[in-house]
Amino acid sequence: QVQLVQSGAEVKEPGASVKVSCSASGYTFTDYSIHWLRQAPGQGLEWMGWIFTSSGGTNYAQKFRGRVTMTLHTSISTAYMELTRLISDDTAVYYCARESSPGLNAAYWGQGTLVTVSA
Amino acid sequence: QSALTQPRSVSGSPGQSVTISCTGTSSDVGGYNYVSWYQQHPGKVPKLMVYDVSERPSGVPDRFSGSKSGNTASLTISGLQAEDDADYYCCSYTGSSYVFGAGTKVTVL
């Protein structure tokens, strides 16, 4: 069965960076793109970007360009999302999600990783 | 890219139907048939309910249906059940990115 397992919760100080991992299993990793999204406490979903697992190509939301980097380690079927220069507004649950077809048709999600930015 | 516009809340009694609207522009909802809807219960991971405007993933009850007219997409829940009480988010492709609505709280009375 398809599974996406994310790394554990993180607490970071303002200005620091965080790197969240998303380990995939149950399918051929390079067949489907991975999206990254986040949800601040009590707020809605926000799309951050996606990475083409077949090529490593990326497309980031305008809001995060310059601060976010999405990468792969295909040999271990893992995707990573690194966010730099953290501020308190970056406190959120970060999700990876697997696209099944174009259009953010994301039936499979990771469990979420809580990132808390606090001094 | 501005967020899609959804009503903050809708409600209905068990067995009734409710419809959630999702209004965008010709650059997102109106321009592409890549509108999806997600259900989220408190503290849980979002669940895909509809994709490509009106397609249902395997396992999603046919009580959930999606449609689109112009720049507005809609999710209709027919025969409301207690477990449908949740937040619902619409999402649209914009040509280069994706944008979500702020979410609609569906309350089953």
Are B34 and A61 inside 8 Å of each other by CB? no
Question: Tens of pLDDT along chain A (119 residues)?
Answer: 999 999 999 999 999 999 999 999 999 999 999 999 999 999 999 999 999 999 999 999 999 999 999 999 999 999 999 999 999 999 999 999 999 888 888 999 999 999 999 99
pLDDT of residue B4: 96
A37 vs B47: CA distance, rounded Å = 13
The residues on B that touch A, with CB distances below 8 Å, are 1, 3, 32-36, 38, 40, 45-46, 48, 51-52, 57, 89, 91, 93, 96-103
The predicted structure's pLDDT at residue A104 = 82
Cα B37 from chain centroid (whole Å): 4
Interchain pair B36, A61: CB under 8 A:
no
Q: In this structure, what token pair is assigned to residue B57?
A: 């993933």
If you average pLDDT over residues B26-34, what whole number do you get?
96
pLDDT of residue B104: 98
Q: With helix as H, strand as E and coil as C, how does B38-64 read? A: EEECCCCCCEEEEECCCECCCCCCCCE
Residues of chain A neighbouring B22 (CB-CB closer than 8 A): none
State the pLDDT confidence band at B1, using cuts at 50, 70 and 90. Answer: low
- B10 pLDDT higher than 80: yes
Whether residues A95 and B97 touch (CB distance < 8 A) is answered with no
DSSP code of B82? G
Residue A85, burial from CB neighbour count under 10 angstroms (0-12, 13-18, 19+)? exposed
User: A111 contacts in B (CB within 8 Å)?
Assistant: 45
In the chain, the amino acid numbered A21 is: S
